[in-house]
Amino acid sequence: MQPIYLTGHSRPVRKVMFNFDGDMLFTCSDDGKVCMYNSYDQSRVGVFNVNQAVKSIDVSKDTKYLLASSTTEGYQIFDCMTGQLISKIAIPRSSIQVKHVEFALGDQQFLVVYEHAKRSYIRIQDTASALKGQTNPDGVFEVEGPQDHLITQASWGPLNQTLYIATNKGKFYIHDLSSSKTIVEEDVHNSEIFSFNVTYDHTMLITCSKDGTAKLLHPRSLEVVRLFNFVKPCRAACISPLFDSQENQKFHVLLAGGQDARDVTTSKASEGGFEIKLMNIIYNQSLAEILGHFGTVHTLAISPDGINFVSGSEDGYVHFHKFLPEYFTKKFE
């Protein structure tokens, strides 16, 4: 079915996400805006102006606060209902690059991944202190990233006790917060891990990398369980939340990516690899390819009910897809 094109952005879309209930869709872009959509009728509800390229966003579980990164400054917190800027926090270091932000389960804390002088840092702050604004740096502590590696994404582990950390040289760490030590360390990919996706119950972890593969890892031991071949650099992966559904249980994953933006003009259209692939996790079978984007797909999100999915791309468009009724039949098991 033809997707709905959401044209809220004028620059590459960096992240799309649904809120916890699935009724709101947030997208962010390099053009310095965060758009909020109603995910039922796809109407734009609000725009948050950051005035800086936004590489990453996150929404608190009760959809009260929006945390947005402001690439060269720090991060900002907005009120979702009114759209007001609550606090604007600059990281007290020069020439930084904020890469990733994420709320912990329960919204008590959040983490910010940033880069400074070729080292990566993970800054963890209490939400309460952040809401007070720049003045009070209470409850802030930083985790220094490994040497020679740059962190591309970090996420909270089970019960917020650990951190999953992926780097640009294919390494994957599990960092224990209480002892502040690395528990598990594994060379998963040959080249940069662009992103990874964990299910809410921490049973499945998928990494995707520049080397053209996506890997399903054991989230405790980081053992490779399945290897998905995407051929072109894989930038985003998203596990369908239907894996624990009672009626139609599906172990499916969406993979997207494609060649680098700079190669697009020098190669054939068919070499792009901008198709979104739907794969079965268990049998490692390709089920469908969804066409539409004409630029690298940076981000994917599936709605919590597993009926819709959204993709954001280098071309500035956000595509809102609905799975066809056929998808919920036996054919797509």
Partner 1 sequence: MSISFEEALAKVNGSESFKKIQQLYPNIGFEQEILGNPELGEQIRSACSNQQLTIEDPRKVSDAPKLDEDFSKYFVINNLPICDADKSKKLIQLLIKLYQKKEITFSEADITMPLNEQGMTEGVAFFLASSEEKAKLAAAIMNNYQFDKKHLLSASQINDFEKIMQAKDLASGPKSSSLIDLRDPMLDTKREQFLFQLSKDVHIKWHQIHEQTSSRNVIENVLQSDRPVLWSPKGTYLIVIKHDKVEFHGGKEMQPIITIPEPKVENVSMSPCEKFVLTYAPTQKSPYVVWDFQLVEQIRDFDQKTGESFQTYQWSHDGQYLAKKFIQEIKKEGSDEVEKEKRGLSVYKLPGMELIATDEGVKKSITVDGIEDWAWAPHKNIIVYSCFPSDDNQHPRIGFLEIPSRRTTIKTFASSKRFVLYFHPQGDYLAVMNEYQQKKTTKYSVELFDTKKNSFPHQQILVNRDVLEFTAIIWEPNHSKMAVHTLSKRIVEAGKKDYTLDAKRNGVDIYEMIDDPIKGFITRTIGFLPSEKVTKFSFSGSGDIFTVFEQEPKNASVSFYMILKQQPENVGPAQPVTKKGLSSQVNKLQSTEEKYEFKKTAKQDIYETKFEDVWDQTGRYLAIYGVKRSPLDKTVKSLKFYNIFGEALGSYDQLQNLQQFKWRPRPQGVLKQKDITKLKSEYKTKFLKKFKEEEKSEKKEVNNVVKESKKKIRDEFLSKFFMPLRKEFEEQIDKYEQLWPIKEKDMHSQEVEIEIIYAFDSVLRETKIN
Interface residues with partner 1 (CB under 8 A) are 21-23, 40, 61, 105-108, 158-160, 200-204, 218-220, 225, 244, 251, 281-283, 305, 307, 322, 324-325
Dihedral of the alpha carbons of 184, 188, 194, 199, in degrees to the nearest 10 = -60
Name which of 39 and 71 has its Cβ closer to partner 1.
Answer: 39
Residues 6+ apart with CB under 8 A from 128: 108, 139
With beta carbons less than 8 A apart as the criterion, state whether 153 and 99 touch: yes
Residues 6+ apart with CB under 8 A from 244: 201
Distance CA 182, CA 171 (A): 12
Q: Which runs of consecutive H residues, i.e. helices, occur in the chain? A: 127-131
| 14 burial via Cβ count (<10 Å: 0-12, 13-18, 19+) | buried
Considering the complex, what minimum distance in angstroms separates the CB of residue 226 from partner 1? 8
Name which of 61 and 119 has its Cβ closer to partner 1.
Answer: 61
Name which of 21 and 144 has its Cβ closer to partner 1.
Answer: 21
Name which of 148 and 263 has its Cβ closer to partner 1.
Answer: 263
Distance CA 300, CA 12 (A): 13
Considering the complex, what minimum distance in angstroms separates the CB of residue 203 from partner 1? 4
Considering the complex, what minimum distance in angstroms separates the CB of residue 91 from partner 1? 26
Name which of 260 and 305 has its Cβ closer to partner 1.
Answer: 305
Name which of 117 and 269 has its Cβ closer to partner 1.
Answer: 269
Distance CA 57, CA 46 (A): 15
Considering the complex, what minimum distance in angstroms separates the CB of residue 201 from partner 1? 4
Considering the complex, what minimum distance in angstroms separates the CB of residue 120 from partner 1? 27
Name which of 50 and 279 has its Cβ closer to partner 1.
Answer: 279
Considering the complex, what minimum distance in angstroms separates the CB of residue 46 from partner 1? 17
Q: Which runs of consecutive H residues, i.e. helices, occur in 10-134? A: 127-131
Distance CA 122, CA 140 (A): 10
Distance CA 119, CA 148 (A): 8
With beta carbons less than 8 A apart as the criterion, state whether 243 and 250 touch: yes
Name which of 261 and 282 has its Cβ closer to partner 1.
Answer: 282
Neighbouring C-alpha atoms within 13 Å toward the C-beta of 5? 11
With beta carbons less than 8 A apart as the criterion, state whether 253 and 281 touch: yes
Considering the complex, what minimum distance in angstroms separates the CB of residue 283 from partner 1? 6
Token look-up 């390494």 returns 171
Considering the complex, what minimum distance in angstroms separates the CB of residue 61 from partner 1? 5
